[in-house]
């Protein structure tokens, strides 16, 4: 543990190498990558907002939309008959 601590302190105390006049400067490629990432993020947020606008305000089961009225989650009656089988057990995996 002490050897590791000594090695870390020694590495941190050293002067940085390769400190020429261009050290630490960004290249135009870095700017291009940053702009591309910002454009991609903007496009994803814009697309997500378009999809979220299509969602209903609430997912109430009391007043389903016409296309949701026949869903197995909203069918009233015997839950065993909701899948259309007349009392015969289904085998697992037989869709």
pLDDT tens digits, residue range 74-94?
A: 556 555 555 555 556 667 666
Q: What is the C-alpha to C-alpha distance for residues 61 and 58, in angstroms, rounded to an integer?
A: 9
Q: What is the pLDDT of residue 20?
A: 74
- Whether residue 89 lies inside any domain: the answer is no
**Quick check: 74 and 68 in contact, CB under 8 A?**
yes
Mean of pLDDT over the chain: 77
Total tally of structural domains belonging to the chain: 1
Mean pLDDT for 58-85 is: 61
pLDDT at 27 over 60: yes
pLDDT band at 65 (very low <50, low <70, confident <90, very high): low
pLDDT value, residue 50: 96
Answer whether residue 81 is part of any domain: no
Residues 6+ apart with CB under 8 A from 1: none
Instruction: State which residues form the domain around 33.
Output: 1-70
pTM flag (> 0.75): no
| 4 membership: H or E segment, kind and range | helix 2-13
């Amino acid at each position: 543990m002490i050897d590791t601590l000594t090695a870390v302190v020694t590495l941190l105390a050293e002067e940085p190498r390769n400190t020429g006049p261009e050290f630490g400067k960004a290249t135009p490629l870095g700017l291009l990558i940053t702009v591309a990432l910002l454009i991609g993020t903007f496009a994803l947020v814009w697309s997500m907002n378009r999809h979220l606008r299509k969602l209903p305000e609430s997912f109430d089961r009391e007043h389903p939309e016409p296309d949701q009225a026949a869903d197995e989650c909203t069918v009233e009656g015997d839950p065993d008959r909701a899948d259309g089988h007349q009392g015969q057990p289904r085998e697992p995996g037989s869709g």
